[in-house]
Amino acid sequence: MAPFLADSGKLIDAREYGNGVQDIAFHKPAVDAIVRATRDTGARPDFLAPLQHLLDRQIAEGRGALAFERTVEEIA
């Protein structure tokens, strides 16, 4: 994952999220599955639940096709 950080930084700095490797909607099922599995084991999803809500909101606002790096705009 580390090799992609420089590219991610460039996307974020340029605020150009249409050319990302994987979009927000691509990551949503994985985050949902991890949160569900975490709850199923009795653990609390305190770390990923906020990300799950952030992705839900971005998809609802029509940003699901944008690069995952777009999430930085929501938390910055």
pLDDT in tens, the chain (76 residues): 677 788 888 888 888 888 667 899 999 999 999 999 999 999 999 999 999 999 999 999 999 999 998 998 888 6
Closest listed residue to residue 72, CA positions, set 33, 30, 37, 20: 20
Q: Say what the pLDDT of residue 1 is.
A: 67
Q: Say what the pLDDT of residue 20 is.
A: 66
Closest listed residue to residue 19, CA positions, set 30, 5, 8, 3: 8
